Amino acid sequence: MLKVALTGGIGSGKTTVTNRFRELSVPVFDADEVSREITRTGESAVKRIAKHFGDRVILSDGSLDRPALREIVFKDPGARRRLEAILHPEIRKRMNHAAAHMSTPYGVFSIPLLIETDQQDSFDRVLVIEATQARRRQWIRSRSSLTHRQISAIFRSQASSQARRQSADDLLMNNGSITELYQQVDTLHGRYLMLAKELHS
């Protein structure tokens, strides 16, 4: 299949875009969803995280204390890299395994840290979604308990808009209505079907 990587900063609208692709019957392989799968209670990744970070990130029922872990990696770039070294290889493995069993013209791989982990060359197309920082902050605050300081820390830890755009083959601007965003996705859908047809011809 034609492999399209979707990326964008936190709060830019990646979930809205992937939902639209799914409505168009396009398979979506979401790194965040896979990350949640491999960090469920009893998964080997949780045991490795506990080994590296200690019991302070594990709750009494054996599950991962996500807020505690988030606070650690926000403050310490080295800790964030150690966590990524545990999670990212397994996430990539599971996403590629799932994609290998699909027979659709193209698939969308939603990877928030695509640029930060230098994975863009592994895909046929890179689709970047952008929104203003003010709008992103508003969305994040409406759906999470993150503070202004925590949101700023996430922004600093992620690639800049300029860096993402430099890697983009396609760009979605999410500063209008959801209808306008869907229209952009629908246009891309047609383009990707054509590119997939060319790939297989």
Residue 16 has pLDDT above 90, yes or no: yes
**CA-CA distances (angstroms) from residue 35 to 42, 110, 129, 134?**
14, 12, 21, 27
Kindly report, residue by residue over 117-139, the tens digit of the pLDDT: 889 999 999 999 999 988 998 88
Q: Give the mean pLDDT of 135-159.
A: 85
| pLDDT score at 194 | 96
- Residues β-bridged to residue 108: 4, 28
| pLDDT score at 146 | 82
**CA-CA distances (angstroms) from residue 123 to 8, 61, 64, 106, 158?**
15, 39, 31, 11, 20
Model pTM score: 0.88
Length of the chain: 201
Domains of the chain, CATH where assigned: 1-27+106-196 (3.40.50.300), 34-101 (no CATH)
Q: Give the mean pLDDT of 65-89.
A: 88
Q: Give the mean pLDDT of 174-184.
A: 95
- Chain-wide mean pLDDT for the chain? 91
Q: Whole-angstrom Cα distance, residue 79 to residue 74? A: 8
Residue 107 has pLDDT above 80, yes or no: yes
Q: Label residue 111 by pLDDT band (50, 70, 90).
A: very high
